[in-house]
Structure 1
Amino acid sequence: MSKFNENEKEQIRQCLLTKGKELFIQYGLSKTSIDDLVQACGISKGSFYKFFTSKEELFYVILQNQEEISNRLIGEHLRKNLPPKELISSFFHMAFQMADENPLLQQWFEDGEHERIIRKLPKHLVDDFAQDNDKKGIVFVQALIERGVLKEQDPEVINGVMRAIMMLRLYKEKFGSDLFPKIMDVIIDYISEGLTKPV
């Protein structure tokens, strides 16, 4: 395989991210092969592995790079002027709605897919993204505490609570699409009350 210069490497990486996103949305992760990905970018299979260890890693990087999802969610809720409990409730409901509307997140939350994908990823990649997401989440929580939306608590703990609520989306299929929203309405109501009610 011929060596790529830095410019060519960046172009190939961007091609894999762009074409990968298109193929994953169109066919799904399981039905998209590495052959499909390399053909779309005009590279060899050996070249693919210079950039990603698996199609699951490519999918995960694409998913994590969708900054507009978290930026929109956080940005809109930092601008909203709602009573504290309503603001936190709105945040959770909008997060679940965005997960349901985004085709890549839908695949991520499919029964068993989350665990299967994570198992195929390099540990450092998962850890790095988790740290980045935690930092963003903690900054968001601190901003809400400063505004008086959330009561004074450890931002790291509150961020963990918020992440735990979002992870419940993994169980939607187990509860069923009719029952799950009703369960989440109750949980979100209790959590929003508990996070915002003054001590």
Structure 2
Amino acid sequence: MPRAFTTDEAAIIRSTLLGAGAACFARSGIRRTTVDELARAAGISKGAFYKFFPTKESLFLTLIEDYETSTHAEIEAAVREDPGGGLEVLIDAALRATEQNPLLPVAMSDEGLALMRHMSDAEREAFVLRDVHLIDRILRVLSEAGVAVNVPANVLVGLLRALVFVGWHRREVGEDLVDELAGWLTPTLRAAMLGGPAPSGGSDG
């Protein structure tokens, strides 16, 4: 049986497994990454790996959750610093997150989406609720700052997810088009926040 680890040892090993997992999954994907490889990187036996994570897939989902939590914290902090530019910050941060998260390509791949489909109802609900709670916190910050937002919360949640998806596919969509989309969304959302008409877009003619 794997030996027991002290609290400090367990914390170090878990952190090492997360780091090794991020590198291995980004390089090889989920299917080709093995528990042996992850355990070896952390200097533990394969049996000891299961003291920390029940499967390599659970390690991957933990990493996705950690990246998401970090991104949400950055977005919320930026909104608190500049409430007037809150929704602009949301757009910029969501697009930037797609470039900074090395595991997003894996999560959006066939094997990543298949893993998401096999999550339990509770796990799927937790993923959804994290986005909902972020938007709720942002709306609360804006309200406390006296910034009116006339955009339904569920629309903002959908916008957040759409921006992540578009940002990841920026090569297919086109770099210039993604930037143009972000530039169009900013004044449109500002107009919606203030309850005014959305700015006209497109070319004349």
Q: What is residue 143 of structure 1 aligned with on the other side?
A: 141
Q: What is residue 17 of structure 1 aligned with on the other side?
A: 18
Identity of aligned residues (%): 21
1:100 maps to 2:99:
yes
- 2:23 and 2:165 mapped to 1: Cα distance? 27
**Cα 1:68–1:91, aligned 2, differ >3 Å: closer, same or farther?**
same
Tell me, yes or no, if the aligned pair for 1:19 and 1:40 is still in contact at 8 Å. Answer: yes
- 2:170 and 2:145 mapped to 1: Cα distance? 33
Unpaired runs of at least 5, structure 1: none
RMSD: 3.3
What is the DSSP-based 3-state SS (H/G/I as helix, E as strand, rest coil) of the residue aligned with 2:29? Answer: coil
Match of 1:71 among 45, 70, 73: 73
Partner AA of 1:150 in structure 2:
A
Higher CA-based Rg? 2
What is the DSSP-based 3-state SS (H/G/I as helix, E as strand, rest coil) of the residue aligned with 2:138? Answer: helix
1:163 maps to 2:152:
no
Report the alpha carbon displacement of residue 96 of structure 1 after superposing the two structures with TM: 0.4
Partner AA of 1:163 in structure 2:
L
Q: What is residue 4 of structure 1 aligned with on the other side?
A: 4
What is the DSSP-based 3-state SS (H/G/I as helix, E as strand, rest coil) of the residue aligned with 2:89? Answer: helix
- 2:163 and 2:4 mapped to 1: Cα distance? 41
Q: What TM-score do the two structures reach when normalised by structure 1? A: 0.72
- 1:135 and 1:81 mapped to 2: Cα distance? 17
Tell me, yes or no, if the aligned pair for 1:57 and 1:120 is still in contact at 8 Å. Answer: no
**Most deviating of 59-68 and 9-18:** 9-18
Unpaired runs of at least 5, structure 2: 197-205
Report the alpha carbon displacement of residue 163 of structure 1 after superposing the two structures with TM: 3.1
Report the alpha carbon displacement of residue 138 of structure 1 after superposing the two structures with TM: 0.9
Q: What is residue 115 of structure 2 aligned with on the other side?
A: 117
Greater relative contact order structure (CA < 8 Å, 6+ sep): 1
Tell me, yes or no, if the aligned pair for 1:144 and 1:150 is still in contact at 8 Å. Answer: yes
Q: How many residues are paired up?
A: 192
Tell me, yes or no, if the aligned pair for 2:94 and 2:160 is still in contact at 8 Å. Answer: no
**Cα 1:23–1:114, aligned 2, differ >3 Å: closer, same or farther?**
closer
CA deviation map 1:90-132 (0-9, x unaligned): 32023202321332335434x5465233135444333234334
Q: What is residue 130 of structure 1 aligned with on the other side?
A: 128
Q: What is residue 179 of structure 2 aligned with on the other side?
A: 181
**Most deviating of 89-98 and 4-13:** 4-13
- 1:79 and 1:190 mapped to 2: Cα distance? 22
CA deviation map 1:128-160 (0-9, x unaligned): 343344323312211112323233666x43553
